[in-house]
Amino acid sequence: MSSQGDPIRVLVVDDQELFRRGMTMLLGVEAGIEVVGEAGDGVDGTNLAAATAPDVVLLDVRMPKRTGIEACLAIKEVVPAAKIIMLTVSDEEADLYEAVKSGASGYLLKDSSIEEVAQAIRVVADGQSLISPSMAVKLIDEFKQMSRPERSHVPGLRLTERELEVLRLVARGMNNREIAKELFISENTVKNHVRNILEKLQLHSRMEAVMYAVKEKLLDLP
């Protein structure tokens, strides 16, 4: 994670050279963001991640040699601290759930504006997830169709009222700062609540927490 004032180090992995080069050039002029490398497939991407230790990796879902999902797992193994944003052509991609399970912090549509991409990089570098409640619903549909549950319910595993409140706001796509403002508590307290929620529910990311909230009907979603 970049310390205050250091640029966010970004690695771009995509097999479409034009898209990759364009993304690298455009991000290169964004304040506080530094592109430390680019790769055209999952294998090179993983090796480059190991060599450059980026803060954030932009990773195409569909690539030769190693899929984005496989590369996501491999990169998380060599650089556990790296945050990964999957790049996808459509939000209907069936493997987005796999991406979440593999440790991705979010997804971005390939037709997003450069402002949206830069904002997404800043958001995940800050430890937030990039997911909308509507996307969570899509992910949950896949979650339900899985043949066996990922983890069995542990009886007596209860969240406090405050933790439930925080979880609901996380699931609405709010970041720590917004949650702190909403609940009149400090950002640090929010971070502690989120950490406790993940520990109690045996989840690995805010993204999985969103999915849990939808699955357990903790949200009033259409």
Residue in the structure block whose two tokens are 């796999």: 98
Mean pLDDT over the full length of the chain: 81
Q: Give the CA count within 13 Å in the CB-facing half-sphere of 78.
A: 18
Largest CA distance in the chain: 53
Cut 0.75: pTM above it: no
CATH 2.130.10.30 fits 141-215, yes or no: no
**pLDDT, tens digit, for every residue of 155-207?**
446 788 898 889 888 877 788 888 999 999 998 999 899 889 888 888 777 77
| Neighbour count for residue 53 (Cβ, 10 Å) | 13
Do domains 8-129 and 141-215 share one topology? The answer is: no
**pLDDT, tens digit, for every residue of 196-209?**
988 888 877 777 78
- Please give the CATH number for the structural domain made up of 8-129: 3.40.50.2300
**Domain ranges (residues) in the chain:** 8-129, 141-215
What is the structure's pLDDT at 99? 75
**pLDDT, tens digit, for every residue of 123-144?**
889 877 776 555 666 666 665 5
Better pLDDT: 87 or 217: 87
Which SS3 state, helix, strand or coil, does residue 137 take?
helix
* CB burial string 29-38: b at 16+ within 10 A, e below: ebeebebbbb
d(CA 195, CA 191): 6
φ and ψ at residue 110, rounded to 5 degrees: -65, -20
CA nearest neighbour of 84 among 67, 66, 107, 63: 107
Helices (H), the chain: 17-28, 42-52, 68-78, 96-101, 114-125, 133-145, 161-171, 176-183, 187-201, 206-215
CA nearest neighbour of 9 among 124, 96, 175, 174: 124
Look at residue 7 and tell me whether its pLDDT is greater than 90.
yes
**pLDDT, tens digit, for every residue of 27-42?**
988 989 999 999 999 8
Q: Which residues contact 116 (CB under 8 A, 6 or more apart)?
A: 108
Mean pLDDT, to the nearest integer, of 58-76? 86
Order of strands, edge to edge, in the sheet holding 83-88? 33-39, 8-13, 56-60, 83-88, 106-109
